[in-house]
Chains A and B, each alone.
Chain A
């Protein structure tokens, strides 16, 4: 049980900067998920917390203690790897107890911990088997068990589910959520999968090119992305973006207009005439029956039917495509002209620097 504090953390390999001034405060017992595009430095950050890679600058504190110079085992962490990294020549029991020998855990205590972890992860039957005789899901549970028996203050997961098939991923995800509820330990979890991030996280950290773009609760990121990157990254299919300009400002309202959509009034005080903006609307918030200020028109080009919803790819007058998610049995047909409308609270506006423009709608 411990909090984790990262201050001004930097990592450079020669001339390339992999992490750039990362600051993060993680509460005791919190489940934090790191997401971001491939190569943005998620694994690097996790490995630096673990102590497997050294920092080029900055501090890491675990449970209030500066751990910069401590070896991984002295930091009170346990890491679960994407490749499971089970010791191939040791059976499941040995895999779990191997590390405990070196950290001064007496044999009786080792057995108790293994028994408990095996019960929690349903590994009792598998204790004498070797990793090569286990399925992917079982291996992943053993890897998690090996982390649990260390009774770490902080768990670190690096894409633990990405080698599993879809069904197993869902069930293991639920298991990890349960585990967090039972153990109440601090968890830092790296994933590519948005659903994993949204469902598991207390807070999500969105990273891009070695920097943290936004930290927040899953729904906060979804409903109020702080910048264009987060807006485009969270949500699937991705948010539609429309170029726009401020036409006039009158009494705390700015008139927003641009190619392809109908001009509308935005209750924002910070805007000036002539500002360039980007308007963002999520596909699932564009509907045919909605009532709202934002309306965009076009010809349906392609329809993807998923069952519970359909994605309509619509070509605007200015020849750009956007996506709308249409619910219900009445799917649009290609060639059809459609007007799609979004409610005021679902319209996101970003300034020229890509930062969110706060409006009265946010309140």
Chain B
């Protein structure tokens, strides 16, 4: 490596490190401080918890005084069900739109791509009215429906790109073999879409798990609150219970990080496939 190359790689790394610190820093701060006593949170927010400042009081309070487990399971149910439906319908729609030419297929593809550009929150009022008249107000079903609608356009877009990369001969071979069309999709195409599906899964899960808006307007009782909404109850107008807030937030971060770690290898394959031939 020449000096010039070294300088270049160093500067690139500096930028990347700075970015990583910026991105990871606040999360570390939250997790770190969730293990400290209240005075230490304010006294030395940047210090690691030590023997004198370590405390689990936040976690204790969260478990004692709130329905955190209900919130947690609500979040999990909503996120996982939405993800499963987005992936299933997204992949099927992407396959149909790339594989079959039918009346209106171009118009349908166009309609779906509009969904990528228009944020779903613009329709909040209409959605609220719709859910109310459908009797779905304050149910997890309402959240799932909204999130599926929110996630579908992007997932169809990404999966279509990947489906186009699958050699056409493969499905022709399957057709010659007598494999029915649905089985071609589920047993030949879908397994080859694994990296793409991991990518879409992460892109779908993160905004759903973190969403505050729709739980706020669509759910009203403790039994349907999600984690992000549940955390809000510790943020008072006059006093904020920082121990509990930080503990609840730390717990809310955990599943997303876990899923990311599990899917990351597939994710990287998905993001870079096609880029490298």
* In contact, A73 and B188 (Cβ under 8 angstroms): no
Whole-angstrom CA separation of A82 from B269 in the bound complex:
27
Q: Which of B170-190 contact A (CB under 8 A)?
A: 170, 172-180, 183, 187-188
Q: Which of B173, B178, B183, B191 contacts A85 (CB 8 A)?
A: B173
* In contact, B172 and A52 (Cβ under 8 angstroms): yes
Whole-angstrom CA separation of A53 from B170 in the bound complex:
15
* In contact, A79 and B192 (Cβ under 8 angstroms): no
Q: Determine the residue in chain B with the shortest Cβ distance to A73.
A: B178
Q: What residues on B are CB-neighbors of A89 within 8 Å?
A: 191-192
Whole-angstrom CA separation of A87 from B176 in the bound complex:
13
Q: Which of B169, B172, B177, B183 contacts A150 (CB 8 A)?
A: B177
Interface residues on B, range: 10 to 19
Q: Determine the residue in chain A with the shortest Cβ distance to B173.
A: A85
A81 and B169 in contact (CB under 8 A), knowing A88-B192, A89-B191? yes
A79 and B176 in contact (CB under 8 A), knowing A85-B167, A87-B188? yes
* In contact, B172 and A98 (Cβ under 8 angstroms): no
* In contact, B175 and A146 (Cβ under 8 angstroms): no
Q: What residues on A are CB-neighbors of B191 within 8 Å?
A: 89
Tell me how far the C-beta of A100 lies from the nearest C-beta in chain B, rounded to whole angstroms: 8
Q: What residues on A are CB-neighbors of B179 within 8 Å?
A: 73, 98-99, 102
Tell me how far the C-beta of B209 lies from the nearest C-beta in chain A, rounded to whole angstroms: 30
Q: Determine the residue in chain B with the shortest Cβ distance to A79.
A: B176
Q: Which of B58-73 contact A (CB under 8 A)?
A: none
Tell me how far the C-beta of B65 lies from the nearest C-beta in chain A, rounded to whole angstroms: 50
Interface residues on A, range: 20 to 34
Q: What residues on B are CB-neighbors of A47 within 8 Å?
A: 172
Does A72 sit at the interface, judged by CB under 8 A? yes
Tell me how far the C-beta of A191 lies from the nearest C-beta in chain B, rounded to whole angstroms: 17
Q: Which of A78, A82, A99, A150 contacts B174 (CB 8 A)?
A: A99
* In contact, A85 and B172 (Cβ under 8 angstroms): yes
Q: What residues on B are CB-neighbors of A87 within 8 Å?
A: 170, 173-174, 188
Whole-angstrom CA separation of A51 from B178 in the bound complex:
12
Most chain A CB atoms below 10 A, which of B173, B191, B192: B173
Does A50 sit at the interface, judged by CB under 8 A? yes
Q: Which of A72, A81, A83 contacts B178 (CB 8 A)?
A: A72
Q: Which of B167, B175, B187 contacts A73 (CB 8 A)?
A: B175
A52 and B175 in contact (CB under 8 A), knowing A85-B170, A87-B170? yes
Does A103 sit at the interface, judged by CB under 8 A? yes
Whole-angstrom CA separation of A89 from B174 in the bound complex:
13
* In contact, A103 and B178 (Cβ under 8 angstroms): yes
Most chain B CB atoms below 10 A, which of A47, A73, A103: A73
Whole-angstrom CA separation of A81 from B167 in the bound complex:
11
Whole-angstrom CA separation of A295 from B175 in the bound complex:
57
Does A77 sit at the interface, judged by CB under 8 A? yes
Whole-angstrom CA separation of A212 from B172 in the bound complex:
25
Can you give 17 contacting A-B residue pairs, CB < 8 Å?
A47-B172, A51-B175, A71-B178, A73-B176, A74-B178, A77-B176, A82-B169, A85-B169, A85-B170, A87-B173, A87-B174, A89-B191, A89-B192, A102-B177, A102-B178, A102-B183, A146-B173
The 6 closest A-B pairs by CB, nearest first: A99-B177, A73-B178, A85-B169, A85-B173, A103-B178, A81-B169
B residues sitting closer than 8 Å to A (CB atoms) are 167, 169-170, 172-180, 183, 187-188, 191-192
14 further interface pairs, Cβ-Cβ under 8 Å (given A77-B176, A86-B173): A50-B176, A52-B175, A71-B175, A71-B178, A72-B178, A73-B177, A79-B172, A79-B176, A81-B173, A83-B167, A87-B170, A98-B179, A146-B177, A150-B177
